[in-house]
Structure 1
Amino acid sequence: MDIHRARFVDYSPHTITAMAFSHKSQADAAAPANLRLAVGRSNGDIEVWNPRHGWTHELTLYGARGRSIEGLCWASDDQVPRLFSIGGSTVVTEWDMTTQKPAANYDCNAGIIWSIDSSASGKNLAVGCDDGSVVIIDISGGPGSLEHSLVCQRQDSRVLSVCWYEDELVVGGCADARLRCWATGAVGSTGRGRLIGTMRVDKSKTESTLVWSVQVLPESRQIVSGDSTGSVKFWDLNQHTLIQSFKVHDADVLCVVRDASESKIFSAGVDRKIHQFQLIKPSSSTKSSKWVHINSRLLHSNDVRTMAVYEARGCNFLLSGGVEKSIVISSVSHFHDGRYRKLSVTQQRPNVTVNEDQKLIVMWQDQTVKVWKVLNEDGTGKTHKLVSKLSLADDENITHVSINDEASLLAVSTLTSVKLFHLTHDNKKVTVQKIRDTNFDSLVDGAKQVVLYSADKLLILTADNEIYNFRISEESIELESELETHESANSIKHPYGNNINNIVISQDNSQVVISRFNGLVEVLSLKGEESFVLTKLSSCPHIMCFSHSNTLLVVTDENKLYEFYVRNKKTTTKATNTVSLLTPWSKRNSEFLPKQFLTLEDKPHGMFIDQDSTSKRVWIYGSNWLSFFDLSENIPINKQYQNMSNSNRKRDRDGLQVQGSTVEDENNQEIDGNINILEDNVEILELSLKQSQIDSLREKIQSDEQTLNTSDTKPFWMTSKYRPILSARSFLDGIIVVELPSLVSSTPAFDLPKLKV
């Protein structure tokens, strides 16, 4: 089999500008099931990551042209956490995780907002503006409610950073080398909003000194600041006086964070280094506690713009990001010598698709779609050509692009519109003509995903999780049907709504299968038949595809691969149990996958099947690996695949991810075992087997295999030769792997001295 490598797609990841965890650290308690990380980027997108199962990129909140995310914070008052963002304007945006659209936009009626933070109670926001004011916003009314509460006493300098002390005080770092404290007590209290203290850092003789970051330590009542002189300073919150100062950075300190115990401080900035400070408690030789600079690490190749810390039982991680564009995860407790990892810049839903019929590769980013044609070797060495480039007039970022098998139609979606184009191929040129239909434009106001199937059919997944089926003709785009999902299944909730995260169409174009973040897999008919729930997985379905025999292949967040028969349970006998939904291959192999696959740190990006209809291979790829499973062969249980015991289900306990894979239902009760759940008389079948059942099955298989001859066909194969991978698909007589040509970062703003040995 030939593997074609395409390294000409000029995808360019965007700078990380902000990070925030949805919950505060709680060192003695388990991490909540709805813990999430929000990552803001310079193109206005916000990525939402789940730290369980090796960090999964669940969804993206799409931004728009010229709307960089400059600050993020979450607020929670014992309810579902709410996400807020700022970005170079006077507006604070609250996001709806279900629709992936803004739930509310609040204009603070002050200057452009530079900083944002939420109070400990989750009832107020503080935003610092460039006109010198700090605005307090009341968000206690619930999701979508932002109301004016207070404008604190104004001063003349930009407020570059803000941080709350309980609900009583807001500390701000300003552009005039000063830190300021504003009282924010209860409504009606004396002095509310007044400026009660000012502290001044050392000024630079050649340029303005900016206090880029502030952090409050509530227990010790101290303030930590980082400024443009490279200094990290500790202040007394009661007396507003300097306690200690460290000049350890060689350039601006852009971010400062603390751990849960307030005994560790981490700072980073333009010089690319992350420095750690440790609190030394009083002893026989010292009468009072003091801060000591412990060490530093160089984990980034460029400026560090933001950091975030989260600690809970079994995990303690420090996340950092910036111009390098990768998320770097290190350990809080073992920062100086502990393990660290970088999440690949391609670790998300692929934004590249391949059309085999016309040898096209389509890539989309922001408001641009590019189409390349793969050429035959002609002796000149030129193997590709850019044949089309579309630039949308809309400001919104593209959410998805689809091209049909005949390469005659191209669909492009944003959250406000869906655009269709006719493609004409002639002499290695592609002519693009927009299909205009006012009725279609008025009916469809945007989509999260579009799927072109058959020669003239379009499936649209809207922001409200509605699915529409359209027929495309030369003259118009006509609505054929709205596919109804199983409403009773929607009663099983997910922390951020019941979003659809996957949608695939069967080989015969008769069925649509959707999966949700809560593990539900539903089957919808394109022939007008009744929809039904296929199963509920104990972990989120991550990617799906159909095989040539019309079975459904699913890879979960835990890297488990299942193969299902897609058939209505009403047509089966009552004696049929849960595992009868699984194919013989899946019943035999899904619990005994190779350890190399189960323990992959980089999550799978996509899955596809061989173009040869007689082949039983399913290909799965991530950012730096490519593998296949042969569904016609069983995976031997032996030392080679390291699946002889349940140890292959354990991940490294290095604190760099949330441990455990328990799933909680809406009543916060753990789901375990091979059980059935009834939701409004609809049977949702669980696939989880008890460990004793798995061990018994393993022993039986090992005993049976001793009497069988082994096959020469590989049941599993994996390589790390190709990286970083953007996409992979069947192509001509083999497969094509689309790789980034390089990941070289831009020149650092600050060059560290090089040691010559």
Structure 2
Amino acid sequence: MAQYTIHNIRFYDFHPKAIQCMSYEDETSRLALSRADGSIEIWNCKSRPFMQLVLPGDNDSSVEALVWCRGRLFSAGLHGFLLEHNLASREVTLRTPVTGGPTWCLTLSKDKKKLAAGTEGGYVCIFDVVDEGVVYDRVLEKQEGRILHIAWHSSGDYIVTGSVNCVRLWSLKEGRVTRCALGASNRKDEVIVWCVGILDDMTLVSGDSCGKVCFWNAELGTITHSVQTHKADVLTLAICVDQNSVYVAGVDPTIVQLSRVETNTSRGKVEMWIKGNQRSVHTHDVRALAVTATDRVYSGGVDTILTLSYYPPKIVCKFPALPPLGSISVAQEAESLLLQYSDHVELWRLGASSEEGGDSGTFLPITEDRVKMLELHGKEDEVIQWCAVSPKALWIAYLVQGSLRIYHFTPPASGGQPRVQRVREMSRAIERSHQILWLSEARLASASVTGTIQVISVSGSEAVMEKELTLEPGHSVLQMTCDMEGKTLAVVDDKNTITIFDIEGGKSAVLPGHSAPCTAVGIHPLSKEVVAVYADMSIKEYDPSRKRYTAFCRKHLNEPSPELVKKHSVIQRVSFDPDHPDLILLHNDSAFVVVQKGKKAASESQERAPKMKKVMSGSSLGKGEDAGMGAQLSVIRRPNQVLLFSQVKGKAVVSVELNPLQVMDHLPSPLKVKKYGGT
């Protein structure tokens, strides 16, 4: 395998945000979760979970509740509006005011025709969900105290809410509270009911600030069973589909499963709830839980990590927070890096070493340190959503609420200062966008909110739309990539279709469909073959000129490699080396993956490289007598989290990494629990 010089970039100051709430839709196998900065992440969980797109937030946004309704996503927060999000354009298409100000919770009726919102002012607002949006129906009788959580009975006739010192059951037919139960009548301190649920048999479930989970008789308004599950507040609960299990978690981050059992007593059979499996998969407060129809539990909270766990068998998959696409852009020819933050972008020139070779895994002496070439700030209230730098780092572009900003950058001469000039004359034909990509110097591809791909030419102080490329009606761009010459564009859309465009001639090919969604795609710089990697870890190589898979793909890429399947993360990027056309460079969140064609597969793992702590393992990608002569897959595991790995100029690659300890340093202190033998 070829040797490369790796630029280890560890100065990207990326701070993941806490997970606030989440909602899972079984029909589409999608998970929506919100973070503390107001952004919403959409995770595709059809095969193995991966972050498919991000709905950016802003300084004033707040997402406290999320609900899926027939493929449509609704949210609510402290701004006091019920919002509907368009996943295709990444925009808010509907803003409906909610009576009572800030909204803390949302729930959906079982027939998915009505939404209910609980507010700061003690109101429960009911909305009808129609094709055009939502229509205000009515508001229930005002109660004292804020509505912290809300749940809807399967019959559609009852709603249960949680507040301070109170669990209320609402009758929608009568429009008033039929039962009111105190959280703790024998305590002087108030008890906050953080989460509630209701079973089909009218059993109410609540989790409170005392660390208890209580089960209530709805008819009598009394507690039938109480379980001390945690040592601190129970913040969230989720009820399984069969309603025989309830999962709870909170400030004490242990996820506890409560199971329904029947015991024989002197009075006959009595139904009880007992503690079952406990999962310690988080280090800090768990704020959100979601249970699928197959009893898989998604959880998240202050530690910023999304976790999937289920039993049996005992499986725990952790997905660290990653910056969204468009946060890091590489200028390959200039060996520079553009890093995006919420209020500014930074252009860095990579360092260099006088030595070109050495033993594998050794550190080369730095003769030219990295240099921050530019720090470009937006306006005071602007939040940057996407950034891109041209191959020679002469043009910089970023998006602010869909609006395109383009700058021409002139590197400093010897002893001089760099110059930045904004392109102010923008053609009116240029539409608002949610994604951009530099095809070449002064030529840009922009994925507009209307679903088209606009090719924009930039010259001097003017930007003009050159042409439009169109996808199938109803399709929206998820990610774009181009070849080194900027003549071929590969587009992955939300319908799991990969379209190849000859930019001069229009659409050239559409890749065959695959059962799993695509996570990464790349175009070979020499052969123009397209390599696509899917969520089931399948790798496909396609020849657009012949409109079929290559012979190498049909022979050696029939099944996913065991080396890749045993890990739960997906491939995030595909890149190539023009000097070594037989190599395919991939990466996930913890390793580099190199596929080498025409190489006999290694039978044993290669030795650990000194100092770099690399673990290399070879495996065959195909089956048959000569499969081992076809390809070799090597995995180089990294001690840090890999945010981006890409080939740069010559024999150099850049790896942007994040030390997990940096994330932990910015988190608040977790709940202190005394352990046996400790203090």
Aligned residue number for residue 422 of structure 2:
435
Q: Map 1:449-528 to 2 at 5 A.
A: 449-485=435-471, 487=472, 490=473, 497-527=474-504
Quote the offset at 1:318 in angstroms: 1.0
Q: Match for residue 671 of structure 1?
A: none
Distance 1:243 1:383, change over 3 A: farther
Q: Which residue of 2 aligns with 1:90?
A: 80
Alignment of 1:354 onto 2:330: yes
Which residues in structure 2 correspond to 1:685-696 (within 5 Å)?
Answer: none
Name 2:608's counterpart in structure 1: none
RMSD: 2.9
Match of 2:658? 740
1:683-729, Cα deviation, whole Å (9 max, x unpaired) = xxxxxxxxxxxxxxx5xx41x57xxxx87x97321121343001011
Specify the SS of the correspondent of 1:93.
strand
Q: Give the counterpart of 1:300 among 252, 258, 282.
A: 282
Question: Could you report, residue by residue, the CA deviation over 1:531-571 in whole angstroms, capped at 9, with x for unpaired residues?
Answer: 243332223332111112222221122222222222276xx
Greater share of strand residues, 1 or 2? 2
1:154 positional shift: 0.3
Give the Cα separation in 1 of the matches to 2:618 and 2:353.
39
Alignment counterpart, residue 121 of structure 1, candidates 103, 111, 127: 111
Is the 8 Å Cα contact of residues 640 and 659 (structure 2) preserved in structure 1?
A: no
Q: CA deviation at 1:38?
A: 0.9
In structure 2, the partner of 1:538 is: 514
| Paired-residue identity, % | 20
* Residues paired across the two proteins, number: 645
Which structure has the higher relative contact order (CA within 8 Å, separation 6+)? Answer: 1
Give the match for residue 616 of structure 1.
Answer: 582
Amino acid aligned to 1:366: S
SS of equivalent residue, structure 1 residue 257: strand
Offset, 1:172 = 0.8
Instruction: Give the superposition deviation at 1:739.
Output: 0.4
For 2:163, give the aligned amino acid: C
Q: When the two structures are superposed, what TM-score results if normalisation uses the length of structure 2?
A: 0.88
Q: CA deviation at 1:223?
A: 0.7
Question: How is 1:152-171 mapped onto 2 (pairs within 5 angstroms)?
Answer: 152-166=140-154, 167-171=156-160
The 5-angstrom pairing of residues 219-618 of structure 1 reads 220-283=201-264, 286-312=268-294, 316-331=295-310, 333-334=311-312, 338-346=314-322, 349=325, 351-376=327-352, 383-393=369-379, 397-426=383-412, 431=418, 433-440=420-427, 442-485=428-471, 487=472, 490=473, 497-527=474-504, 529-539=505-515, 540-549=517-526, 550-567=528-545, 581-610=548-577, 612-618=578-584
Residue in 2 aligned with 1:718? Answer: 635
Q: Tell whether the 8 Å contact from 2:425 to 2:462 is kept in structure 1 after alignment.
A: no
Once residues 452 and 421 of structure 1 are traced to their aligned partners in structure 2, the CA distance between those partners, rounded to angstroms, is: 13
Task: Give, in whole Å, the separation in 2 of the partners of 1:106 and 1:86.
Answer: 10
Does 2:146 match 1:147? no
Cα separation, partners in 2 of 1:592 and 1:214, compared to 1, 3 Å = closer
Distance 1:511 1:37, change over 3 A: same
Q: 1:437 is matched by which residue type in structure 2?
A: R
Note the alpha carbon deviations across 1:237-267, whole angstroms, 9 max, x for none.
1221111222332221110112122221221
SS in 2 for 1:586: helix
- In the alignment, what sits opposite 2:610? none
- Per the alignment, residue 362 of structure 2 pairs with none
> Distance between the aligned counterparts of 2:204 and 2:136, measured in 1?
27
Q: 5+ unaligned residues in a row in structure 2: which ranges?
A: 355-364, 606-616
Deviations 1:75-121 (A, max 9, x none): 23xxxx22111121210111122222222111123221111111111
Q: Is the 8 A contact 1:468 1:483 kept in 2?
A: yes
Whether contact under 8 Å (2:331, 2:389) holds in the other structure is yes
Distance 1:216 1:473, change over 3 A: same
Matched, 1:209 2:200: no
Deviations 1:146-169 (A, max 9, x none): 111111000121111111113111
CA contact (8 A) 1:534 1:568 kept: no
Distance 1:621 1:21 in 2: 27
Say if 1:204 and 1:56 are closer, same or farther in 2 by CA, change over 3 A: farther
Amino acid aligned to 1:561? I
For the 8 Å contact 2:260–2:273, the answer to whether it is kept is: yes
Conserved in 2, the CA contact under 8 Å of 1:62 and 1:396?
no
Amino acid across the alignment from 2:218: L
SS across alignment from 2:564: helix
2:597 matched to 1:631? yes
CA contact (8 A) 1:402 1:452 kept: yes
Cα distance change, pair 551–146 in 1 and its aligned pair in 2 (3 A): same
Q: What SS does structure 2 have at the residue aligned with 1:375?
A: coil
The answer to whether residue 56 in structure 2 is matched with residue 62 in structure 1 is yes
Q: What residue ranges of structure 1 are gaps of 5+ in the alignment?
A: 24-31, 186-190, 491-496, 570-580, 646-697
CA contact (8 A) 1:483 1:525 kept: no
Aligned partners of 1:588 and 1:634 also within 8 Å: no
Query: Is structure 2 residue 161 aligned with structure 1 residue 172?
Result: yes
Which residue of 37, 43, 53 corresponds with 1:49? 43
Match of 1:151, as an amino acid? V
* Contact 1:592-1:635 within 8 A present in 2 as well: no
TM-score, normalised by the number of residues in structure 1: 0.79
- Distance of aligned partners of 1:644 and 1:414 in 2 relative to their CA distance in 1, 3 Å threshold: closer
Cα pair distance change 1:478/1:498, threshold 3 Å: closer
| CA distance in 2: counterparts of 1:230 and 1:614, whole angstroms | 59
Using the alignment, how far apart are the partners of 1:466 and 1:64 within structure 2?
25
Which stretch shifts more, 44-53 or 393-402? Answer: 393-402
Whole-Å separation in 1 of the counterparts to 2:195 and 2:298: 16
CA deviation profile, 1:461-488 (whole Å, cap 9, x unmatched): 1122211111111131112112234x4x
CA distance in structure 2 between the partners assigned to 1:131 and 1:138 by the alignment: 21
Change (3 A) 1:541 1:261: closer
Distance 1:355 1:156 in 2: 58
Partner of 1:575: none
Relative distance call for 1:644 and 1:504 in structure 2 (3 A) is: closer
Classify the secondary structure of the residue corresponding to 2:121.
coil
Write the letter of the residue equivalent to 1:242. Answer: I
CA distance in 2 between counterparts of 1:82 and 1:756 reads 51
SS at match of 1:524: strand
How far does the alpha carbon of each residue in 1:476-522 deviate from its partner, in whole angstroms, 9 at most, with x for none? Answer: 1112112234x4xx4xxxxxx52222322233332322233334332
1-structure distance, mates of 2:537, 2:416: 41
Q: Structure 1 residue 35: deviation in Å?
A: 2.1
- Taking the aligned partners of 1:13 and 1:644, their CA distance within structure 2 comes to 35
467-476 vs 426-435, greater mean Cα deviation: 426-435
Indicate the SS of the match to 1:554. Answer: strand
1:654 paired residue number: none
Deviation at 1:734, TM superposition (A): 2.3
Q: Tell me if structure 1 keeps the 8 A contact 2:430–2:454.
A: no
Asked if structure 2 preserves the Cα contact closer than 8 Å seen for 1:519 and 1:536, the reply is no
Q: What is the identity, as a one-letter code, of the residue corresponding to 1:456?
A: A
